[in-house]
Amino acid sequence: MKLDVFEGPLDLLLHLIEEEELSVYDVPIARITAQFLSYLAELEELDLDWAGEFILLAATLLEIKARELLPRPKPEVEEEPEEDPRAALIQRLLEYKQFKTASGFLAEQLHTSSRQHGRPAVLPEPPGLPEDVTLRDLVAAFRVVLEGLVPDLPAEIAGEEVTIREAMLGLVQALAVRPSGLPFRAVFAKGASRLHMVVCFLALLELVRRGRVKVRQAEPFGEILLFLVGGSANGREG
């Protein structure tokens, strides 16, 4: 038997009384005291912080027991009635028992009520920034950019195009000075050729793949923002 299954000394006392099918009103204090003490004695380690309350009640029980055993001298004069520790203890027990019963009622109420579900009291949080903008989103956004493009300028001069590596470097530099994020559209300079844009897009994809660039969208169909991971332009070789 462990003491910590009881909610406190009154709970233990109540348990002993109920186990013996005794009435709270006329508990044989001597008998119940012996049992109470035997419970305490069974404790291997006495956690004084916790057992203090039990010991206090044990002392009260012993006091009542002693009073019952000792013959009481008849009062010679009408004294002021002394407080009867037995009556006080019974009063406390009855009071505790009432609240224990009430807690049983509450437990039942909770059991029933917790199985009934109403509408959630709080509306779910609005979705935050989705961490993962998918490749599909990026391609769709890129397509929008390309659609806004005038047909390739006829006088396109080969050889002036940037390489993907150069585009990556340029992008990292552009992102480094925009810690609050660079709009996706801003990556593609107006008037640039289709090929240039494709190179920039591939550069962006490569940076995302390497984890150098984070892509976020504040809301569905909203503007896609690009962020540099780590924040430094001169990190690993791009």
Residue numbers at the binding site for another protein (CB under 8 A): 7-11, 53, 57, 92, 95-107, 109-110, 112-122
Q: Tokens 């008849």 map to which residue?
A: 74
When the beta carbons of 118 and 191 are compared against another protein, the nearer one is 118
Residue 36 CB, shortest distance to another protein, in Å, is: 13
Strands 224-228 and 213-217: antiparallel
CB of 209 to another protein, least distance (A): 34
Considering the complex, state which of residue 104 and residue 148 has its C-beta at the smaller distance from another protein: 104
Instruction: Tell me how far, at minimum, the Cβ of 50 lies from another protein, in Å.
Output: 8
Q: What are phi and psi of 45, to 5 degrees?
A: -115, 135
Measured from the CB atom, is 119 or 190 closer to another protein?
Answer: 119
Cβ distance to another protein smaller for residue 126 or 159: 126
Cβ at position 52, least distance to another protein in Å:
9
Residue 118, classified by CB atoms within 10 Å of its CB into exposed (0-12), middle (13-18) or buried (19+), is exposed
Alpha helices in the chain (DSSP H): 9-19, 29-42, 48-69, 85-113, 135-147, 164-176, 194-209
Q: How far is the CB of 127 from another protein (least distance, A)?
A: 18
Q: How many CB atoms lie within 10 A of CB 161?
A: 15
In terms of CB distance, is 117 or 136 closer to another protein?
117
From residue 45, alpha-carbon distances to 5, 40, 132 in Å are 16, 10, 56
Q: What is the dihedral of CA 183, 186, 187, 193, to 10 degrees?
A: 150
Query: Which pair of structure tokens corresponds to residue 8?
Result: 């406190």
- Smallest distance from another protein to CB 47, Å: 13
Burial class (CB in 10 A: 0-12, 13-18, 19+), 12: buried
Minimum gap (Å) between residue 12 Cβ and another protein: 10
User: Which CB, 29 or 57, lies closer to another protein?
Assistant: 57
Distances (CA, A) of 72 to 32, 69, 89: 22, 9, 20
- Quickly count: other Cβ atoms within 10 Å of residue 165's Cβ: 13
Residue among 109 and 134 whose Cβ is closer to another protein: 109
